[in-house]
């Protein structure tokens, strides 16, 4: 039977999806903060490379957690050596990966759970957005988290002398747990929606196709 215009409970429930809009706008604000933090760290790195002792100590404290170290902690180096440079660059990459994670959550989450973005035939439309759904979004977020965890693990191993064996083992176990979680979610998504589900098998050629007519 036709629906009468006006208030209805299903339309109210369906419209409640717009309550997520302030959450995604808040993540955009967080993205701006990450951009500012990236440039602050990059400027500190440039100043340290030019020999500024205050910037050098700031980078050293950021990558070695010197504020939580005891009195026996190693002093900062006199110049920006290769190890400290690698740790500083990995910190910048960490910020970029987290920013990419925010982009996927904002764009993919809005497209999946709130409303269509209307980017059909847009030249800058991301390739992954054309086939995004809740399952694909969860797998992509898991892979992004694994990348962030790998960066943190690499930073720990480069600076392994500042950590005890218990901390190293704990970080490896956490990274393996992320890997197992991502593999499990990808496996479940493949079982729920197989790659070729809904596709019709190719038509077999007719007996007379391609053969010359007598």
Mean pLDDT is lowest, of 37-46, 66-75, 181-190, for 66-75
- Provide the pLDDT for residue 3: 55
pTM of the complete model: 0.68
The confidence score (pLDDT) of residue 194 equals: 63
Contact, 156 vs 168, CB < 8 A? Answer: yes
- Residue 202 pLDDT greater than 80, yes or no: no
Give the pLDDT mean for 192-213: 51
Encode pLDDT of 37-56 as tens digits. 999 989 988 888 888 888 88
Element of type H or E holding 98: helix 82-109
Distance CA 132, CA 105 (A): 11
Q: Which long-range contacts (CB under 8 A, 24 or more apart) does 178-181 make?
A: 178/142, 178/145, 178/146, 178/149, 179/146, 181/142
Which is more confidently placed, 97 or 186? 97
Who has greater pLDDT, 19 or 68? 19
The separation between the first and the last C-alpha atoms of the chain, rounded to the nearest angstrom, is: 60
What is the residue extent of each domain of the chain?
A: 18-67+75-116+128-192
């Amino acid at each position: 039977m036709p629906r009468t215009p006006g208030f209805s409970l299903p339309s109210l429930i369906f419209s409640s999806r717009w309550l997520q809009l302030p959450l995604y706008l808040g993540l955009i604000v967080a993205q701006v903060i990450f951009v500012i933090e990236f440039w602050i760290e990059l400027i500190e790195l440039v100043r340290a490379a030019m020999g500024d002792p205050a910037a050098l100590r700031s980078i050293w404290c950021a990558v070695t957690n010197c504020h939580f170290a005891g009195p026996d902690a190693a002093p900062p180096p006199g110049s920006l050596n290769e190890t400290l440079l690698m740790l500083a660059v990995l910190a910048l990459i960490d910020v970029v990966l987290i920013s990419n994670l925010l982009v996927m959550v904002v764009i993919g989450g809005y497209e999946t759970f709130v409303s269509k973005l209307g980017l059909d035939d847009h030249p800058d439309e991301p390739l992954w957005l054309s086939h995004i759904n809740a399952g694909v979004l969860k797998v992509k977020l898991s892979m992004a988290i694994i990348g962030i965890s790998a960066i943190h693990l690499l930073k720990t191993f480069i600076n392994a002398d500042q950590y005890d064996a218990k901390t190293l083992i704990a970080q490896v176990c956490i990274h393996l747990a992320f890997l197992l979680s991502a593999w499990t979610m990808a496996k479940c998504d493949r079982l729920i929606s197989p790659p070729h589900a809904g596709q019709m098998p190719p038509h077999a050629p007719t007996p007379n196709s391609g053969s010359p007519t007598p």
